Amino acid sequence: MASHDFDVLIVGSGLAGLSAALHLAPTHRVAVITKRQMQDGSSAWAQGGIAAVLANDDSFEAHIHDTLVAGAGLCDLAATRFVVENAPAAIGWLRALGVPFTQEGEELHLTREGGHSARRIAHVTDATGAAVQRTLIDVVRGTPGITVFEQHTLVDVITSAKLGLAGQQCLGLYALDEATDEVVTFRAPNTILATGGAGKVYLYTTNPDTATGDGIAAAWRAGCRVGNMEFIQFHPTGLYHARAKSFLISEAVRGEGGRLLLPDGTRFMPDHDPRAELAPRDVVARAIDFEMKKHGLDCVLLDISHQSPEFLHEHFPNILAYCAELGIDITKEPIPVVPTAHFTCGGVLTDLSGRTDLPGLYAVGEVACTGLHGANRLASNSLLECMVFARAAAQHIASAPRVQIPALPRWDDSRVTDADECVVISHNWDELRRFMWDYVGIVRTNKRLERATHRITLLLAEIDEFYANFHVTRDLLELRNLVQVAALIVRSAQLRRESRGLHYSRDYPNLAAPAASTILVPPVSQ
């Protein structure tokens, strides 16, 4: 079995991981480890942009204030200020790399999104993440000092405690090489988790298939605390279609008169809020969730067909074209939609240098809980967070003294066999995503959380048995991580006896005081 030595290991190839790699490459031997292709992470799917104070009529204080308001009292002020004040430099760095931001004359075109009091969103039309990701991949591939390992799935980080050694230190990691079907040992004094969120724990999500909570689960097993895992951001109107996994129907459709309907044509939003379809995201998502559960529906309908075909061609050309590809003519019929998991606000606890509780282990991007997002993420702060903390982690690594790492044992699978019932993994995956959607979704109750806990306990036991006795596969590793993350989400939700931000409980509909983060501490032995 292969083994590799590097100065820094980076798990994940989105904006966070590639930014960190580029900052470290001049002085360190860097490995970027990603479980599919470099372009397959969530960053490439980001449509909006990157928030930064770049206009004369804007200010750091205004951006901070907007972030704190969105975060519903749970944002960390120091982290928020740190990110906001470093935002302009982050945009400048991307521009220097060649990211083709949309211009207005000689200046950047800045758009405005919900929750922002000023125009401060730098963007590349409506596909910012894809453009940034393409640029970074091109630069990384041409940068000496960075070695990319695609099709390598994180199995676990290696700690001194797991090897029975003195002290607390991350020593490297094990990863499954898809090409050889062998587990490879990577040794390094510094490891950065940039693995993204955990949207795939839910039945419906805007996230790619890679969003399986790998870094959150691995850090937890390594003894790191996690925070605010109950706060999962949902988008109210994802397209519901067998061939459309993650396509969003813009809020602008509702803004231009789109009506939400039950299958029998009944409009339901006026019964939930006087603003009807123009209510905020969370209100609309809860209303749809309520109607789906009440009537046993897989989706509801969004109808904009009363507008003229000319109007729809002008305002929603991409939505119209994509729906047409699927056989849905939005000029004549409604669009099937469903709320969809969008962003994991909580994650592995870090400081302002991206450090976790385990020396030598860092977490950057959606995998981390930095304190920036609080109970709800402000639009376009997430790509920004990736860049600011990638630079901060790189600077800390560069300034820290080099640590000697002992020889690491190879992965031992001599006593396992190939699983003969892979259907069990597939069934468990489907069961998990369904009950998380039904019981731990947009609207929660104590009873629903108890039901989820019971099922998670059974799944954990079954998966542990599989993991101990059978050769690891990517599907098994992802399922193991998803179930672990699901357990953290449910435990966090049970501890929050109030409704705040993205966590809404029918049993505790009011705010509690004082506002406090939910911090989970792993058991001593994992």
Sequence length of the chain is 526
Residues 391 and 23: beta-carbon distance below 8 Å:
yes
C-alpha to C-alpha distance for 290 and 296, rounded to whole angstroms: 10
The H-or-E segment that residue 22 falls in is helix 15-24
Q: How far is CA 13 from CA 1, 98, 103, 140, 426, in A?
A: 24, 18, 27, 10, 26
Burial bucket for residue 109 (CB in 10 Å: 0-12, 13-18, 19+) = middle
Q: Which residues contact 104 (CB under 8 A, 6 or more apart)?
A: none
Tokens of 191: 């490891």
C-alpha to C-alpha distance for 522 and 295, rounded to whole angstroms: 39
State the helix-helix crossing angle for 77-97 and 128-141, rounded to 10 degrees. 60
Residue with structure tokens 């640029």?
135
What pairs with residue 190 in β-bridges?
8
Handedness of CA 150, 156, 158, 163 (dihedral sign): negative
End-to-end Cα, the chain, rounded Å: 25
Active site residue 275: no
Choosing from 120, 187, 281, 444, which is the catalytic residue? 281
Residue with structure tokens 């302009």?
88
Residues 30 and 3: beta-carbon distance below 8 Å:
no
C-alpha to C-alpha distance for 91 and 106, rounded to whole angstroms: 16
Question: Which residues are the active-site residues?
Answer: 281
